[in-house]
Amino acid sequence: MNVADILLQCSAMVYFVSMAGYLCYLFHQKDRIQQVSFGLAALAVAIHLTSVILAGINIKGMPIHNLVQSLSMAALAVGGMFLYVQYRFNLKILGLFATGLVSILMLAVLTIPDTPVAPDKILKGVWFFSHIILIFTGEAALGLAAGAGILYLIQEQGIKGKTQGFFFKRLPSLDFLDMVSYTCITTGFALLTFGLVTGFIYAKTVWGSFWGWDLKEVFSVGAWLVYAALLHLRLYSGWRGRKSAVMSIVGFCIIIFTFLGVNLILGGHHQAFTQ
Amino acid sequence: MSNIILIGANHKTAPVEIREKLSFSGDETLAALEHLKQDTQIREGLVFSTCNRLEILYIPETGDQIEAMIQFIADHKGIAVSEFRSSLYILEGDEAIRHMFCVAASLDSMMVGEPQILGQVKQAYKTAVKVGASGVLLNRMMHKSFSVAKRVRKETGIGDNAVSISYAAIELANKIFSDLSAKSVMLLGAGEMAELAVEHLMTHNVKNIVVANRTFENALALARKFKGSAVQYEEREAALVDVDIIISSTGATDYVLTRDQVKRAMKKRNHNTIFFIDIAVPRDIDPRINKISNAYVYDIDDLKNIVETNISQREQETIKAGRFVEEALVSFKKWLEGLSVVPTIKAINDKMTSIVDMEFDKTLTSLRHLPPEDVEALRRMTRAIASRAIHDPILFLRNTGEHRDDSLYLNVARQLFNLDISDSK
């Protein structure tokens, strides 16, 4: 076992503790607990990043050759994006969603056997590098948008239904949740757009054509269209609030399916990453 | 032991006409404190007055001075004793301390849990300290009351729940909109209820207020009062495009805003969130509007339901808060009892003895070769040094002089020797 693997496991443990902290915060609402949990999340991301960089140095390339590495990269992206969103908006309770999502991903990373894959010559170069970074961070931002969307729906349900339950005091205002979700969507959408473009360019350099009717490509563009429609409807038909929240969740479900489902069920040239 | 006495009147014992007459303004409080300071019969005093209560807290030099104090209030405010005597409560010792703790923790307020009172109590304390009317005992007691108040705030949900209709409405508005100061309010109907609700909203600094009323003059008058603008009653649908919160209290028998009207308006306002507060009976706002996305309607019954749930929750929290007050009372009394000569001297003695014994035993471990009788002689010597060292301070404490304040010197001594560790929080 090398240093990178040990660090990866360490970071997973810290993520778990951070999630437990956020769960405590949900019930007790003590700022101190939230601060510690956030600090732990930041620490976990730092350890995780170090681990991924070390792994990258080991194989002289991006460690994204199999399912475990992809999941780990996704967890890192969500963690990093959460740190940014929390820093910018201070939407504390989103931490529970983010650390929960990361914890699930890390659990998969720890349990799925890491089958070594021979480094592939084609998985190199600036286009590949930027394609991966942009797609992962973009999808992480969209994931957080879905998280904020879920919080919105919970809070909206309480206010519309006139039942001030457990969450009423614990969640911020509807406007604020909508604004966070919207900002995450615009950020994620921009990153995703550039990610797709760099992907096309990369495909051109490797396979000689921009578009290969690969199923993952098709679904990615499908998800992109859903978000494009959401933004359009929001700007021109006032699709804000509840509708926007539902759309952000639907969009993220398509992304999850694109990320895992397409490879596990349908196949395609992105196959290698999820073997 | 010094007796702490509290004379006061609050919203439970005195009607508002009496409370108004008894209320001390800032300058009057200063003058009263100055007077208490000069009065040789009063050792320490503190005056706390808000629009809902008057509390005079003091420690007499001799006797209880209650009649003198009541006369003092009468003279100071220029009203006859007979007029307010029956509205007063007079508390002594534990009762007085407990009451003051409850006041600071907002358990005695008209709106239990309202947060302003602690600030007011702190201000009264600061004034008393500045004038020099309060002393060691009252200062300590007030500090204790601040810490109880903080604990009650932190560990019970007493300040959390809105227990009045307008508070519940504002709390809702705060969970719908992120920044009320950027929102506009429209009043439908210029009745008293609407006025009350807006006064609450004004403290949250809304951006702009629009008034619509069947009689335009009344709308104008109310708009002028809140520095807003008035629109014709018939313009209300058009006005929906620019406002975010609607408070409705007209006497109309039909709905004054229908679902179709709001649907049209929502399209024009690009589906931005809108919140209707309907305090009219019969209702003004079609309840089906609540089904439109991004529109929220709360009528008077909905708000009453929230308030009732909150009140029952609050009662449970009050029991918990009462326990905190009792705990603080016990700890303050412990300190108060320690603040007499004998326990203080004993505590100083004990502390010195334990220090020399500890140091002596530490040194002894490396002096194993000494015969037992030498060890005994050395132990006697170290103890003698200790008791010599504190001899003069103890002598001073035993006899602080006729006209000096015992509690002051005892308090200093206890602090110098750090005898109240268990109570330092």
For residue B314, pLDDT over 60 is answered with yes
B297 contacts in chain A (CB < 8 Å): none
User: Options 3.30.10.20, 3.40.50.10190, 3.90.550.60, 3.40.50.720; which CATH number does B165-306 get?
Assistant: 3.40.50.720
Contact B290 A160 (CB under 8 A): yes
Distance CA B281, CA B249 (A): 8
Per-residue pLDDT of chain A (275 residues), as tens digits, is 688 888 998 999 999 999 999 999 888 888 889 999 999 999 999 999 999 999 888 887 778 777 888 889 999 999 999 999 999 998 888 999 999 999 999 998 888 877 766 666 666 778 888 898 999 999 999 999 999 999 999 999 999 988 877 888 888 999 999 999 999 999 999 999 999 999 888 888 888 788 777 778 888 888 999 999 999 998 888 888 888 999 999 999 999 888 877 666 665 555 554 43
Is the CB of residue B266 less than 8 Å away from at least one CB of chain A?
yes
The pLDDT assigned to B161 comes to: 63
Asked whether the beta carbons of B181 and B204 are under 8 A apart, the reply is yes
Q: Quick one: pLDDT at residue A275?
A: 39
Catalytic residue among B1, B16, B51, B81: B51
H/E/C letters for each residue in B323-378?
A: HHHHHHHHHHHHHHHHCCHHHHHHHHHHHHHHHHHHHHHHHHCCCCCCCHHHHHHH
Contact A243 B293 (CB under 8 A): yes
DSSP for A68-126, please give it: HHHHHHHHHHHHHHHHHHHHHH--TTHHHHHHHHHHHHHHHHHHS-----PPPTTS-SH
CATH 3.40.50.720 maps onto chain B at: 165-306
Paired with B257 in beta bridges are B285
Which of B:305-344 have CB within 8 Å of A?
Answer: 305-306, 309
- Confirm whether B102 is a catalytic residue: no
From residue B315, alpha-carbon distances to B113, B114, B229, B341 in Å are 11, 14, 42, 43
Are A160 and B267 inside 8 Å of each other by CB? no
Which three-class secondary structure state does DSSP give residue B9? strand
> Pick from A173, A238, A243: which is nearest to B175 by CB?
A173
What is the structure's pLDDT at B142? 93
CB neighbour class for B350 (10 Å; exposed up to 12, middle 13-18, buried from 19): exposed
Q: What is the ipTM score, two decimals? A: 0.84
Q: Which CATH architecture has domain B5-155?
A: 2-Layer Sandwich (3.30)
State the average pLDDT over residues B353-378. Answer: 88
pLDDT digits (tens, 9 = 90+) for B271-281: 899 999 888 87
Would the CA dihedral through B166, B168, B173, B178 be positive or negative? positive
Alpha-carbon radius of gyration of chain B: 31
Determine whether the interchain pair B271/A155 forms a contact, defined as Cβ–Cβ distance below 8 Å.
no
Q: Determine the Cα–Cα distance for residues A50 and A274; give it in Å rounded to an integer.
A: 23
Task: Inform me whether the C-beta atom of residue B224 falls under 8 Å from chain A C-beta atoms.
Answer: no
Extents of the domains making up chain A: 1-119, 125-275
d(CA B16, CA B19): 5
In a mutational test of the A interface, the residue from B154, B172, B178 whose CB has the highest number of chain A CBs within 10 Å is B178
- The rounded distance, in Å, linking the Cα atoms of B382 and B336 is 32
B59-68, B236-245, B398-407: least confident range:
B398-407
- Nearest of B100, B99, B89 to residue B66 by alpha carbon: B89
Contact (CB<8Å) A240/B294? yes
Q: Contact B305/A162, CB-based, under 8 Å?
A: yes
Question: How far apart, in whole angstroms, are the C-alpha atoms of residue B227 and residue B175?
Answer: 26
Q: How many whole angstroms separate alpha carbon B414 and alpha carbon B334?
A: 13
CB A191 within 8 A of CB A134: yes
Interface residue ranges in chain A relative to chain B, Cβ cutoff 8 Å: 155, 159-160, 162, 164, 168-169, 171-176, 179, 237-243
Which part of chain B has CATH 3.30.460.30? 5-155
CA distance A236 to chain B (A): 8
Report CA A144 to chain centroid distance, whole Å: 7
Minimum CA–CA partner of B299 in chain A: A162
- CA separation for the pair B45, B93 (Å, rounded): 14
Question: Across the interface, which of A168, A241, A243 has its CB nearest the CB of B273?
Answer: A241
